[in-house]
């Protein structure tokens, strides 16, 4: 595994003497979409990326994006209690294209990779508890955003496949920092 990481780093950063190394991280709010919207209300997301500036307008990075979504409802007089939670961790190869060369840089990006999904759903009214086994699925993540200095903001859609019969997807609003080291 260590050799694979070393080879990936050399391949990612060894293209030129004027390499632009990218380091980014941030957090956001996730809104459920698909079938998970039936038992979750929203949650938190966080991301970390390490990449390479292929040109001034094109970045390629390794992106980790983690999310935790939860939801619940209660009815005191009817004694209905329910709770649902989903955790998603996605590992992606992400490409980003900047539309301008100015200080304010809008961009579009696409991430492709693997998402690990785990979920639990509890309903007390019918004495029902359902825990899904963790699954790993192909995932994709298109995003639109902008970079201003080191500030990075975007809106992204994540499609993480299915867990059982439920489709796993969400929309995240993210804010973070994206640093560029090296280059011209």
Domains of the chain: 21-182 (2.40.160.20)
Closest listed residue to residue 140, CA positions, set 109, 172, 108, 112: 112
Apex 29 CA angle, 24 and 31, nearest 5: 130
Structure tokens at 121: 């759903």
Which residues are 48's β-sheet partners? 25, 64
Question: In the structure, what pLDDT confidence band is assigned to residue 165 with cuts at 50, 70 and 90?
Answer: confident
Helix or strand or coil: residue 9? Answer: helix
Helix or strand or coil: residue 38? Answer: helix
Top pLDDT among 107 and 10 is at 107
pTM: 0.80
Residue 159 reports pLDDT greater than 90 = yes
Apex 61 CA angle, 27 and 167, nearest 5: 60
Residue 32 reports pLDDT greater than 80 = yes
pLDDT of residue 84: 80
Q: How far lies 180's CA from each of 68, 119, 155, 172, 177, in Å?
A: 29, 36, 21, 24, 10
Task: Encode pLDDT of 66-91 as tens digits.
Answer: 999 888 776 656 667 777 888 999 99
């Amino acid at each position: 595994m260590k050799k694979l990481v070393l080879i990936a780093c050399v391949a990612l950063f060894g293209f030129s003497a004027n390499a632009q190394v990218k380091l980014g991280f941030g957090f956001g709010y996730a809104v459920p979409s698909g079938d998970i919207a039936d038992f979750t209300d929203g949650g938190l997301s966080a991301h970390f990326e390490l990449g390479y500036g292929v040109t001034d307008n094109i970045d390629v990075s390794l992106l980790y994006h983690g999310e935790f979504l939860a939801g619940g409802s209660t009815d005191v007089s009817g004694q209905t209690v329910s709770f649902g939670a989903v955790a998603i961790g996605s590992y992606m190869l992400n490409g980003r294209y900047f539309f301008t060369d100015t200080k304010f840089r809008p961009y579009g990006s696409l991430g492709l990779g693997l998402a690990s999904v785990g979920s639990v759903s509890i309903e007390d009214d019918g004495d029902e508890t359902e825990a899904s086994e963790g699954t790993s699925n192909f995932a994709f993540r298109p995003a639109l955003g902008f970079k201003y200095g080191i500030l990075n903001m975007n809106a992204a859609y994540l499609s993480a496949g299915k867990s059982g019969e439920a489709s796993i997807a969400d929309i995240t609003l993210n804010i973070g920092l994206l640093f560029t080291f090296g280059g011209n």
